[in-house]
Amino acid sequence: MPIRVDINIKSYEEMVQNQLRERMEAAMDHAAAKCKKRLSRSNASGASPSKAGESPKKVTGQLIRSIKSGVEVKKGVVHGYLSADTPYALRLEFGFVGTDSAGRHVKQAPRPYLRPTLSEEGKQIAYILIGKKI
């Protein structure tokens, strides 16, 4: 007597996609926390700024508060992101040479914080994505 087994592939795909989305959220939350920690070196007076190539030091905390992580699912692909939305976030990450919106001539070396965080945390992010404990 044959036994019939049916698998609803669509349900399985949804289950896997949901699991990947949850893991990506956890991975990006982990990266955001590490990025905020990287930016927490204090320089409240502004008298001891970061050096070129170093991550910025904390003055007001606005950059730290602007760090966001998130996940989007588009066309079956799970995308994770880490971002900062202060007006000067890109200038710090990549540097800036030119005239700014205030008319000042600026030559600012990069003080990256997002890319180094993702690079340094890559192994832990991968572990989270595959469901391993870190």
- Report the share of the chain in percent with pLDDT over 90: 69
* CA distance readout (Å), 40 to 1, 43, 62, 76: 68, 9, 11, 36
Q: What is the mean pLDDT of the chain?
A: 92
Q: Residue 70's beta-bridge partner residues?
A: 81
CA dihedral 92, 93, 97, 102 (to 10 degrees): -40
Cβ atoms of 115 and 94 within 8 Å: the answer is no
* Model confidence pLDDT, tens digit, residues 5-38: 887 777 888 888 899 999 999 999 999 999 999 9
Residue 92 is encoded by which pair of tokens?
Answer: 């710090």
Work out the burial of residue 2: count CB atoms within 10 Å of its CB; fewer than 13 is exposed, 13-18 middle, 19 or more buried.
exposed
Q: Residue 66's beta-bridge partner residues?
A: none
pTM (predicted TM-score): 0.85
Q: Residue count of the chain, please give it.
A: 134
Cβ atoms of 118 and 125 within 8 Å: the answer is yes
- The pLDDT-based confidence of 49 (bands split at 50, 70, 90) is confident
Give the pLDDT confidence score for residue 19 in this predicted structure.
93
Cα separation, 29 vs 69, in Å, equals 6
Overall average pLDDT of the 96-119 stretch: 94
Overall average pLDDT of the 30-47 stretch: 92
Give the pLDDT confidence score for residue 124 in this predicted structure.
95
Give the pLDDT confidence score for residue 91 in this predicted structure.
93
Q: Tokens 């572990």 sit at which residue?
A: 127
**Residue 134 pLDDT exceeds 70:** no
Overall average pLDDT of the 95-105 stretch: 92
